Structure 1
Amino acid sequence: MTALPYRPCAGIMLIDRHGRAFVGQRMDSTLEAWQMPQGGIDPGEDPLAAATRELWEETGVASDMVEFIAAPDQEFFYDLPEDLIGKVWKGKWRGQRQRWFLFRFLGEDGDIDIATPHPEFRSWRWIDPAELPRLVVPFKRALYEAVLAAFRPYLNTQIGIEAVSQSDRPR
C-alpha cells in the first residue's frame, strides 16, 4: 500500500449566511456518511480552479455564487482502509492529498442542485461545522478535524464568517 501515491484532490467547505457548512450524503455509500464537496485535481489544473469546478459538478453552485474566504497553505492527507485499496479509483491510489478552500455561499438554497449530470449526493443539508467530524466516514475523521481547525479562525456560527483580505487568496 505505501508504494501507491496519493490522489491529488480539492475540497470545499461551503458556508451559508448563518455560518453552517454544506454536506452531502454520497450516492455510492450505504453508510449514513456525509461529506463536503471534493474531487480530483486534473493534471496541470490549478487547485482553486479544480475546487470551483468540483463545486459546480457536485452541487450546481457556479463560481459567481460564492465568495472565496481562505485556503490553508498545507495539504491534508488520508489513507483508505485496507479493504478499499484496489476497489476504488481502479487501485491507483492509497488515499488522497487534498487542498481545501473555504467559500461563502451567496445564493439561496434553491440555487443548489445536486441532480447534476453525474450526481454524487443523494441528499444535502446545512450543519454546524463542529458536527462535520462525527458525520464523515471514520477514515476521514482526522482529516475533517484538521480542516476544521485550519478554518476555525474564519468561522463564527453566531455572526457568519469574518471577512479576510484579498491578500489571503492562494497564489
Structure 2
Amino acid sequence: MSDSSQLPYRPCAGVMLVNQAGKVFVGQRIDSTLDAWQMPQGGIDDGEDAETAALREIGEETGIDPSLVRIVARARHELFYDLPSDLIGKVWKGRYRGQRQHWFLARFTGTDDDVKIDTDHPEFRAWKWAEPSELPAMIVPFKRKLYEDVIAEFAPWLESIA
C-alpha cells in the first residue's frame, strides 16, 4: 500500500440544516449497509465557492430548493477527517486521504413536504430530523470527531436558530 499521507484532502462543503424545532437533517446513505446517518455534504467543483457548493449539495441530496435555506453561519476554519486505511484507495478513485470541509449552519424555512430524497441521483435511502447532540453517535466512527467539531463550532447559534 502506498503512503496515504502523501495524498491530498478532497475539498468539500457540508451543511448543518436546522428546522423550526431545532433539529438537524440527516440522511441514511444509499450506498452503505451501515446504520449510519450524515448531514448533507459533498465535493466542491472546480471554480465553485464553498457556499455555492453547499447549497448545490442540499439540492442534489435532499431535493430541497435553495430558496428554502438560509445560511446563518460558516465555520471559522476548514474541518478535516481521514479515511480509515481499508477505504483509502477504494473511494474517490484513490486520489484522496480524506476530506477538508467548509461547514455551514443553515435554517430550513420549508416543511417536511419540501424534502424529496428521490432525486435524479439519490444518495439517501431514508431521512429524519435529529437532535444536534445525537449526531456524533449516528455517523460512521471515522467522522465522529468531525461531527463533534461541527456541533461545537455552531453551538452558539443552535439555541437561537429554531
Deviations 1:106-158 (A, max 9, x none): 000000000000100000000100000000000000000000000000012xx
Query: Could you tell me how far apart the structure 1 residues matched to 2:146 and 2:135 are?
Result: 10
- SS at the partner of 1:61? coil
Q: CA deviation at 1:73?
A: 2.1
| Identity fraction in percent | 62
- Specify the SS of the correspondent of 1:83: coil
* TM-score normalised by length of structure 1: 0.91
Q: Any idea what SS the aligned residue of 1:84 has?
A: coil
Residue of structure 1 aligned with 2:136, choices 133, 137, 143: 133
Q: Distance in 2 between matches of 1:114 and 1:41?
A: 20
The aligned residue for residue 21 of structure 1 is: 24
1:66: how far off? 1.1
Q: Measure, in 1, the Cα distance between the counterparts of 2:127 and 2:45.
A: 26
Q: Which runs of 5+ in 2 are unaligned?
A: none
Task: Supply the AA of the counterpart residue of 1:7.
Answer: R
Aligned to 1:72: 75
RMSD: 0.8
Residue 122 (structure 2) aligns with: 119
Deviations 1:25-78 (A, max 9, x none): 001110000000000001110100000000000001111001111002200000
Unaligned 5+ segments in structure 1 are 163-171
* Matching residue's letter, 2:142: F
Deviations 1:78-109 (A, max 9, x none): 00000000110000000000000111000000
Match of residue 97 from structure 1: 100
